[in-house]
Chains A and B, each alone.
Chain A
Amino acid sequence: MRAVLVGPFEWRTWRQVLYAVAGVVLSAPALLVPVVLVVVVPAGLVGVGLPLVVGVLLLARRLPRWFGLLSRPLLGWELPPPPPLRGRTLLGLARLVLVDGRGWRAAVYAFVKVPLAFVSAYVAVVGTLFAVMLIFSPVWWAVGADDLSPVGVDRRGDTAYVSAIGVVSLFLFPWLLRGLVALDRALATLLLGPGPAAERIDELVTSRAALTADAAATLRRLERDLHDGTQARLVALGMTLARIEKRLGPDEHEALALVDAARGGVTDALDELREIVRGIHPPALDAGLPTALGTLAARSGLPVTVSVSLDRTPSADAATTVYFTAAELLSNAAKHAGARTVELSLSGADGWLRLVVTDDGRGGAAASSTGTGLRGLIARARALDGRLEVSSPDGGPTTVVLSLPGA
Chain B
Amino acid sequence: MRTVIAEDNVLMRDGMSALLGDHDVSVLAAVSDAAGLLAAVEEHRPDVAIVDVRMPPTFTDEGVRAAIAIRSAYPETGVLVFSQWVETVYANQLLRDHPERVGYLLKDRIVSTAAFLDALRRIADGGVALDPEVIRQLLSAPTVDAGLARLTPREREILALLAEGRSNVAIAADLRLAGRSVEKHVTAIFTKLDLPPAPTDHRRVRAVLRYLEAQRLSTQ
Contact = CB atoms under 8 A, between A and B. Distances in A.
A278 B60 contact: no
Contact-residue size bin, chain A (C-beta under 8 Å from the other chain): 35 or more
A305 B11 contact: no
Contacts of A238: 110-111
B217 A227 contact: no
Nearest to B216: A305
B55 to A, nearest CB: 11
B6 to A, nearest CB: 15
Interface in A286-305: 286-287, 290-291, 293-295, 297-305
Contact of A278 (B16, B85, B112, B220): B85
A270 interface: yes
Interface string B179-220: 000000000000000000000000000000000000111111
Contact of A231 (B18, B89, B107, B113): B107
B136 to A, nearest CB: 9
Contacts of A240: 15
A395 interface: no
A277 B113 CA distance: 24
Contacts of B138: 298
A235 B15 contact: yes
Contacts of B106: 274
Contact of A300 (B18, B60, B86, B141): B141
A359 to B, nearest CB: 14
Contacts of A239: 15-16, 18-19, 110-111, 113
A266 interface: yes
Nearest to B113: A242
B146 to A, nearest CB: 13
B85 A242 contact: no
A243 B108 CA distance: 16
A283 B215 CA distance: 21
B174 interface: no
Nearest to B20: A239
A105 interface: no
Contacts of B113: 239, 242, 245-246
A28 B219 CA distance: 59
Interface stretch (A58-66, A126-134, A306-314, A396-404): A306-314
Nearest to A228: B9
A267 interface: yes
A288 to B, nearest CB: 8
A284 interface: yes
Interface in A140-195: none
B85 A270 contact: no
A389 interface: no
B42 to A, nearest CB: 26
B152 interface: no
B88 A299 contact: yes
B72 interface: no
Contacts of B112: 263, 267
Contacts of B107: 231-232, 235
Interface string B65-91: 000000000000000000011111110
A298 B88 contact: yes
A308 B106 CA distance: 27
B43 interface: no
A271 interface: yes
Interface in A377-399: none
Contact of B108 (A274, A283, A290): A274
B149 to A, nearest CB: 11
A274 B85 contact: yes
Contacts of B140: 299-301
Contacts of B54: 227-228, 283
Contacts of B110: 235, 238-239
Contacts of B144: 303, 341
A300 B54 CA distance: 24
A228 B56 CA distance: 12
B11 A236 contact: yes
Contact of B12 (A232, A295, A304): A232
A72 interface: no
A240 B12 CA distance: 11
A200 interface: no
Contacts of B61: 287, 291
Contacts of B137: 295, 298-299
B219 A306 contact: yes
Interface in A225-260: 227-228, 231-236, 238-243, 245-246
A138 B154 CA distance: 118
A290 B219 contact: yes
Name the 6 nearest CB pairs between A and B, nearest first.
Answer: A238-B111, A298-B88, A290-B219, A239-B15, A270-B108, A294-B89
10 contacts: A239-B16, A274-B106, A284-B89, A286-B60, A291-B61, A297-B217, A298-B137, A298-B138, A299-B88, A301-B141
Interface of A: 224, 227-228, 231-236, 238-243, 245-246, 263, 266-267, 270-271, 274, 277-278, 283-284, 286-287, 290-291, 293-295, 297-309, 341
